[in-house]
Chains A and B, each alone.
Chain A
Amino acid sequence: MLTDEERREIEAEMARYPTRQAVCVDAMKIVQQHRGWVSDESLRDIAALLQMSVDELDGVATFYNLVFRRPVGRHVVLVCNSVTCWMLGADGLYQESCAASGAPGGATSPDGRFTVLPIVCLGACDHAPVMMVDDDLHHDVSPGNVATILERYP
């Protein structure tokens, strides 16, 4: 069930759009903000609130790179693998992010602390290679300082 807070936040978004369906991405992001991911149960609750079919909402959910339909760790590490970062060492950065966090690529570390995922261009190519941890952008990263960066995220 959606919490009162989640419901309130989703309903506040409704004032910005003429249809309920238009709120669906915001709604999924709100739930994800609170719970880390969007479960089948959450999907059903959101669909009911927005008067959408569950399948249509799942179609939207799975369209996006950043709506998580499986649980993720406490911190999500996104390593850019697009062209400039790739030229300047993104593959090594990704491997080191997995090694330092204990998370296999595309999955979560056994202690539940980190999920490491590849991501498309983060729009900071003059400082490549770059990665994001949660909401923070880290630029000019070398494999050697990945461990130090990750230490800041308990």
Chain B
Amino acid sequence: MERPLTARIQPGREPLDLRGYEGEGGYAAARDAVLHLTPQEVQARVTDSGLRGRGGAGFPAGKKWSFVPMGDTAPRPKYVVVNADEMEPGTFKDRLLMEGDPHQLVEGIILSAYAIDAEVAYIFLRWAYKLAAARLERAIAEAYDAHYLGERIFGSGHRLDLYLHVSAGRYICGEETALLNALEGKRGNPRSKPPFPAVSGLWGKPTIVNNVETLCNVPHIVGRGAEWFRKAGLSEEGGTKLYGVSGRVKRPGLWELPLGTPMRELLEEHAGGMQDGVRFRGVLPGGASTDFLVEEHLDVPMDFGSVEKAGSRLGTGTMIVLDDQTCPVGMVRNLEEFFAQESCGWCTPCWGGLRMATDLLRGLEEGTGEPRDLELLSSHARMLGPGHTYCAFAPGAAEPLQSALAFFHDDFDRHISDKRCPWR
């Protein structure tokens, strides 16, 4: 089985330097594309591959790029922004890619910038990833020295500057328009869309924002072709995916596997099953802002379409397992407290609704909940849902809440009838 994204990564070892990376075939795709392909040809390969964004929303990468104005009349400069703000609770995949093989990301950036004819790129990195920051800085410096970045990259007429921006920590900055405001030195409130960043993004210029894992796929797609990529997955969506599992399993961790690997295989084979004496109750399949799935869903293939059909989202592909020693009400309270704290405060249903939902959940945990609280929680989940806010933050926050109310209804009821948390 192929593991293109992690083939060069050995945990505990320093990442390959530029020479080592090139020795294993690195930068060949970027060099070839910049010297011999047109930007449109690079775009076409990525579009044909069907690559969907790995940051959570799953938007087709090639399609996103296709909205960028091209040609001599396009506004300048154009920007590529790397979303490396990995702050989705339960998610730890981009950390591995940046710490383990920083040149792979740099090459992905060079190719993506070439595809939309951009001359400036920023990596927007979360503050906590100190090791990733140091290793990326080193890789960027090496790439400048080799003239793969800067003026006349690979001896062509193209120029690309790449800068690392380390943020100061706020979950909403992972939302692409909030990220752009944050990069401009403003509060990271999301922007109203349209206009979409591809047309009017950073400082009003055409900008694409792509996740780290998405961009790391690009050198492989450009180098080996769309057909190869499509065949690397188990479903029609193609490619591999970094899957993670955390919680009370025997071997929490991260694995690169074909997209569409069944959830059961991930949990039982790779993560080793539940710890002894602990029973599986449910899972957030793709980070904190995805709907719970339960036992009946274990055979769902972990790809975008299948997880959506099951009633949730693939999200970041990093699963958080709920076990029978953990109170589901407490878990949802923890999640909604996170969202309430990290809401940027712009839209009323988000900041107000999350605060009220959190209060209700805390009341249930403390034994002061009443039957009507469950109706109120349901109505908050609806009001947080799509269509009431600028961005996808509130709808994401609603997902674990609404699904917990459905799947763990008896547990919510018991908190009310017993006037206490049965787990305390």
The chain A residues found within 8 Å of chain B, CB to CB, are 16-19, 21-26, 28-29, 50, 52, 59-60, 63-67, 81-84, 86-88, 119-128, 132, 135, 137
Q: How far is the CA of A22 from the CA of B184 in the complex (A)?
A: 4
B104 within 8 A of A: no
Within 8 Å by CB of A120, from B167, B203, B320, B341, lies B341
1/0 contact trace for B169-190 toward A, CB 8 Å?
1110000000000111111100
- Residue pair A19, B203 in contact (C-beta under 8 Å): yes
Within 8 Å by CB of A21, from B171, B185, B323, lies B185
- Residue pair A63, B188 in contact (C-beta under 8 Å): yes
- Residue pair B334, A19 in contact (C-beta under 8 Å): no
- Residue pair A22, B185 in contact (C-beta under 8 Å): yes
B407 within 8 A of A: no
The verdict on A84 contacting B90 (CB below 8 Å), with A64-B170, A120-B338, A126-B252 known, is yes
- Residue pair A64, B95 in contact (C-beta under 8 Å): no
- Residue pair B252, A64 in contact (C-beta under 8 Å): no
Least CB distance, A102 to chain B, in whole angstroms: 25
Least CB distance, A59 to chain B, in whole angstroms: 5
B86 within 8 A of A: yes
- Residue pair A120, B252 in contact (C-beta under 8 Å): no
B417 within 8 A of A: no
Q: How far is the CA of A132 from the CA of B130 in the complex (A)?
A: 11
Q: How far is the CA of A61 from the CA of B127 in the complex (A)?
A: 14
Within 8 Å by CB of A84, from B87, B246, B254, lies B246
- Residue pair B335, A83 in contact (C-beta under 8 Å): yes
The verdict on A87 contacting B326 (CB below 8 Å), with A64-B169, A121-B89 known, is yes
Within 8 Å by CB of B91, from A18, A88, A123, lies A123
**Chain B: CB-nearest residue to A118:** B341
- Residue pair A60, B128 in contact (C-beta under 8 Å): no
Q: How far is the CA of A127 from the CA of B90 in the complex (A)?
A: 11
Within 8 Å by CB of A28, from B88, B168, B322, B344, lies B168
- Residue pair B320, A126 in contact (C-beta under 8 Å): no
The verdict on A60 contacting B185 (CB below 8 Å), with A66-B169, A87-B326, A126-B245 known, is yes
**Chain A: CB-nearest residue to B333:** A86
**Chain A: CB-nearest residue to B246:** A125
B-chain residues with CB within 8 Å of residue A135 when the two chains form the complex: 130
The verdict on A120 contacting B334 (CB below 8 Å), with A59-B187, A64-B167, A87-B248 known, is no
Q: Can you name 6 A-B pairs with beta carbons within 8 Å?
A: A16-B165, A26-B166, A63-B187, A125-B90, A126-B244, A128-B252
- Residue pair A18, B338 in contact (C-beta under 8 Å): no
B114 within 8 A of A: no
- Residue pair A83, B338 in contact (C-beta under 8 Å): yes
Least CB distance, A48 to chain B, in whole angstroms: 15
Q: How far is the CA of A67 from the CA of B88 in the complex (A)?
A: 20
Least CB distance, B267 to chain A, in whole angstroms: 14
Least CB distance, A69 to chain B, in whole angstroms: 12
B-chain residues with CB within 8 Å of residue A21 when the two chains form the complex: 184-186
Chain B stretch 94-109: residues in CB contact (< 8 A) with chain A: 94-95
Least CB distance, A118 to chain B, in whole angstroms: 9
- Residue pair A123, B253 in contact (C-beta under 8 Å): no
Q: How far is the CA of A103 from the CA of B26 in the complex (A)?
A: 49
B228 within 8 A of A: no
- Residue pair B90, A120 in contact (C-beta under 8 Å): no
A-chain residues with CB within 8 Å of residue B87 when the two chains form the complex: 120-121, 123
Least CB distance, B298 to chain A, in whole angstroms: 20
**Chain B: CB-nearest residue to A123:** B92
- Residue pair A25, B130 in contact (C-beta under 8 Å): no
B-chain residues with CB within 8 Å of residue A16 when the two chains form the complex: 163, 165
- Residue pair B331, A83 in contact (C-beta under 8 Å): yes
Q: How far is the CA of A80 from the CA of B169 in the complex (A)?
A: 13
The verdict on A84 contacting B247 (CB below 8 Å), with A125-B90, A126-B92, A126-B254 known, is yes
A-chain residues with CB within 8 Å of residue B344 when the two chains form the complex: 63
B318 within 8 A of A: yes
Chain B stretch 182-201: residues in CB contact (< 8 A) with chain A: 182-188
Least CB distance, B350 to chain A, in whole angstroms: 15
B159 within 8 A of A: no
Q: How far is the CA of A132 from the CA of B289 in the complex (A)?
A: 24
B17 within 8 A of A: no
Q: How far is the CA of A63 from the CA of B284 in the complex (A)?
A: 28
Chain B stretch 337-367: residues in CB contact (< 8 A) with chain A: 338, 341-342, 344
B288 within 8 A of A: yes
- Residue pair A88, B184 in contact (C-beta under 8 Å): no
B-chain residues with CB within 8 Å of residue A66 when the two chains form the complex: 127, 168-169
- Residue pair A121, B88 in contact (C-beta under 8 Å): yes
A-chain residues with CB within 8 Å of residue B252 when the two chains form the complex: 125-128
A-chain residues with CB within 8 Å of residue B245 when the two chains form the complex: 126
- Residue pair A121, B203 in contact (C-beta under 8 Å): no
Q: In the complex, given contacts A21-B184, A50-B185, what are 5 additional A-B residue pairs having Cβ atoms less than 8 angstroms apart? A: A66-B127, A82-B334, A120-B169, A124-B95, A126-B246
B-chain residues with CB within 8 Å of residue A17 when the two chains form the complex: 163, 185
Q: How far is the CA of A120 from the CA of B168 in the complex (A)?
A: 12
- Residue pair B170, A82 in contact (C-beta under 8 Å): no
B21 within 8 A of A: no
- Residue pair B168, A29 in contact (C-beta under 8 Å): yes
Sorted nearest first, the 8 A-B pairs with minimum C-beta distance are A64-B168, A125-B246, A21-B185, A126-B252, A82-B89, A121-B89, A65-B169, A66-B169
Scoring B127, B129, B183 by chain A CB atoms within 10 A of each residue's CB, the highest score goes to B127
